[in-house]
Structure 1
Amino acid sequence: MSRPDRSTRALHQALPPALRDAVDDFAEHLSRVRNRSAHTVRAYVTDLVSLLDHAVRMGCVDLADLDLSVLRSWLARQRTTGAARTSLARRAASARAFSAWAHRAGLLPADVGAALASPRAHRELPTVLRADQAAALVEAPARRASLGTAPPATPRPGEAPTRQAPLGTAPPATPRPGEAPTRQAPLGTAPRSGAAEDTATVAVPLRDRVLLELLYATGVRVSEVCGLDVGDVDHARRVIRVFGKGGRERSVPYGVPAQRALDDWLRQGRPGLLGSHSGDALLLGARGGRLNPTTARQIVGGYAEAAGLPRTSPHGLRHSAATHLLEGGADLRAVQELLGHSSLASTQIYTHVSVERLRAAYRQAHPRA
């Protein structure tokens, strides 16, 4: 079973053996048969343990005792404790998935979750950058490199933001008598010295540039871009091979600016960060390992903040890429394929974004709006 949090593990251990085995078998099914990510399996397991704990409290001693009234009671209890509509919708989906699997496996006499309704999740329109803002963001590393500065790192939740030195200046470190002031390492790098520091100073902006270019040019997820290997890039056709959710493979094209960034990174940047544990990873972190999605999010947020842009994440660049494709006349099915959405409904939200922009332009420009 995937490793849920401590409270879920405690509830799991307190379940009757038959229910506990059902949870473990369902997690195995999600992981090995459905090829779900560890994060998805952990979310489903957390929901299922909560459901079965509630069922035991209602007097269910065996899985066959689980019925629709128990499922509804569980969701109602979740709502009274303040769960959001999106959380309730996800938990209802978890219950339906488990019920369908348990019925097929012969653990339930009927698929009791098939009739379980759930509140419609409220989907907020994603925040997207304008085309000129997206261009300013992806070009920010080149401008920063020419000035010899690094963008401010985005603080983690709960941390106070660090005070940044003015543009083009170093923090006011006081050197000892006769010593030269130390150079500051770029964002995402570990402290280095001498030639290694100079190499990192050149390599990191090139890495950041290709990261931003690929995220915006292709609209891929941050986990997908960090998972790219050197061999996944087809330079001749200008496409990358991406393995998305559920292990689904797709080919995504990119443009000339991203190709230039890739060429510069592979020639002048990646060799400077290459280490014994780099493997075939395309994008590397400060210590030579594969770039971590958390670090990638900090890089995107840092450059957006430094450029004076709205708060942006890799997923925000994905939203922006999809919206700009549709506004430029791309077919919705083509955008679905590029983004790797299994359902067209997931892609249709971007048409709503475009309609909202059209309404805003209408209200601003039409004399009788």
Structure 2
Amino acid sequence: MFIERFIRYLQFEKRFSPHTVTAYKKDLDQFSEFIVSVEPELLKITHQHIRTWIVKLMDQGIEARTINRKISALRSFYKFLQREELIENSPMIHVRAPKIPKRLPVVITEQKMDILLDAKDVFSNDFTGIRDRLVIELLYGTGMRLAELVNLSDNDINVYEQQIKVLGKRNKERIIPISNSLAKLIGDYKLQKLSRNFDNKSSTLIVTNEGKNVYPKFIYRTVNLVLSFISTHDKKSPHILRHSFATSLLNRGADLNAIKELLGHSSLAATQVYTHNSVERLKSIYKQAHPKA
């Protein structure tokens, strides 16, 4: 009952994205399923109970990053219970999150992306090929998130001003400039889309071959397939293109605050992870080029 109230609070008051709400609910349901055998009453849970759950997750080999996400969901949940005056103190104040080992974002180099986008045999000239190219170029050319691309509508594109309006996390809008080539590609795609005479009107810019709204798994599969031409990484996700976008900007001297705004990060700390990639690149160049390296 308390979890359902919290989820409604996230949906209608905090206006979290459906993806975030689903993740919170999944984590809290998992916690509830474990804890019911120890302490059936959620309001009587102590930090020892929560630590026991965390230890179990670690024993199962679950990554620290995933565990921290679950802990974050619990912190928000118990803060909500305090707000509702259902509990006096949160048990989370005595719970420490496990340390996350530093992991640099996986990126695809500019050279490889140029090879991919210049290749003649990757994208066909029909609706499917132009759409798949647009998916890649939108993600790589704007750094937008998967969910942002899925929800992008025709009305969000201003080809003449060469900019895109993106609705990010917490319903925050931001404007991202686009290149001449990307603006032209969007125009070509819209003409292809119009020529298909889809009966059902889609609300999204990117649609399936049947003219229906795309969904996250559709975009993920498209990106995975296209990136397999140039990348041997196990992970070939839309987020890698977002990382590549940010790293390319930083390597070319873009201001970190500007990158933060383009990515829609709420704090500079989230953007600073890309500086590590650039430092590693500089080290590599130094070792290759400097006579004393």
Q: Please give the TM-score of this superposition, normalised by the length of structure 1.
A: 0.73
The answer as to 2:278 corresponding to 1:359 is no
Report if the CA contact (8 A) 1:327-1:354 is conserved. Answer: yes
The offset of 1:303, in angstroms, is: 2.5
Residue of structure 2 in register with 1:298 after alignment = 221
For 2:46 and 2:217, the matched residues in 1 are separated by 41
The answer as to 2:154 corresponding to 1:230 is yes
Q: What amino acid is aligned across from residue 31 of structure 1 in structure 2?
A: Q
For 1:82 and 1:291, the matched residues in 2 are separated by 34
Residue of structure 2 in register with 1:250 after alignment = 174
The verdict on how the C-alpha distance between 1:213 and 1:78 changes in structure 2, with shifts beyond 3 A counting, is closer
For 1:41 and 1:130, the matched residues in 2 are separated by 34
Residue of structure 1 in register with 2:48 after alignment = 69
Equivalent of 1:87, from 66, 79, 83? Answer: 66
For 1:119 and 1:352, the matched residues in 2 are separated by 22
Residue of structure 2 in register with 1:272 after alignment = 195
Residue of structure 2 in register with 1:111 after alignment = 90
Q: What amino acid is aligned across from residue 63 of structure 2 in structure 1?
A: A
Q: What amino acid is aligned across from residue 72 of structure 1 in structure 2?
A: R
Residue of structure 1 in register with 2:31 after alignment = 51
Is the deviation greater in 328-337 or in 122-131?
122-131
Equivalent of 2:9, from 23, 29, 33? Answer: 29
Q: How does 1:1-369 map to 2 (within 5 A)?
A: 21-58=1-38, 60-140=39-119, 143-144=120-121, 202-267=126-191, 269-306=192-229, 308-311=230-233, 312-369=236-293
Report if the CA contact (8 A) 1:63-1:108 is conserved. Answer: no
Q: What amino acid is aligned across from residue 126 of structure 1 in structure 2?
A: P
Q: Structure 2 stretches of 5 or more lacking a match? A: none
For 1:57 and 1:113, the matched residues in 2 are separated by 20
Indicate the structure whose relative CO is greater, using CA pairs within 8 Å and at least 6 residues apart. 2
The offset of 1:61, in angstroms, is: 4.6
Residue of structure 2 in register with 1:161 after alignment = none
Residue of structure 2 in register with 1:155 after alignment = none
The verdict on how the C-alpha distance between 1:95 and 1:292 changes in structure 2, with shifts beyond 3 A counting, is closer
The verdict on how the C-alpha distance between 1:51 and 1:226 changes in structure 2, with shifts beyond 3 A counting, is closer
The offset of 1:292, in angstroms, is: 3.0
User: SS at the partner of 2:165?
Assistant: strand
Aligned residue pairs: how many? 291
For 1:61 and 1:205, the matched residues in 2 are separated by 54
For 2:203 and 2:67, the matched residues in 1 are separated by 41
Report if the CA contact (8 A) 2:164-2:177 is conserved. Answer: yes
Q: What amino acid is aligned across from residue 18 of structure 2 in structure 1?
A: A
User: SS at the partner of 1:251?
Assistant: strand
Q: What amino acid is aligned across from residue 225 of structure 2 in structure 1?
A: G
The verdict on how the C-alpha distance between 1:52 and 1:227 changes in structure 2, with shifts beyond 3 A counting, is closer
> Sequence identity, in percent?
32
Listed one character per residue, the Cα deviations across residues 217-271 of structure 1 (whole Å, up to 9, x for unaligned) are: 111112212321111111222111111122221111111110111122223x111
The offset of 1:336, in angstroms, is: 1.0
The offset of 1:274, in angstroms, is: 4.0
Report if the CA contact (8 A) 1:96-1:116 is conserved. Answer: no
For 2:224 and 2:62, the matched residues in 1 are separated by 29
User: SS at the partner of 1:207?
Assistant: helix
For 2:221 and 2:197, the matched residues in 1 are separated by 21
RMSD: 2.1
For 2:133 and 2:42, the matched residues in 1 are separated by 53
Report if the CA contact (8 A) 1:26-1:101 is conserved. Answer: yes
Q: Specify the structure having the higher radius of gyration (Cα).
A: 1
Q: Please give the TM-score of this superposition, normalised by the length of structure 2.
A: 0.91
Residue of structure 2 in register with 1:159 after alignment = none
Listed one character per residue, the Cα deviations across residues 331-357 of structure 1 (whole Å, up to 9, x for unaligned) are: 111111111112222211111111111
User: SS at the partner of 1:279?
Assistant: coil
The verdict on how the C-alpha distance between 1:281 and 1:39 changes in structure 2, with shifts beyond 3 A counting, is closer
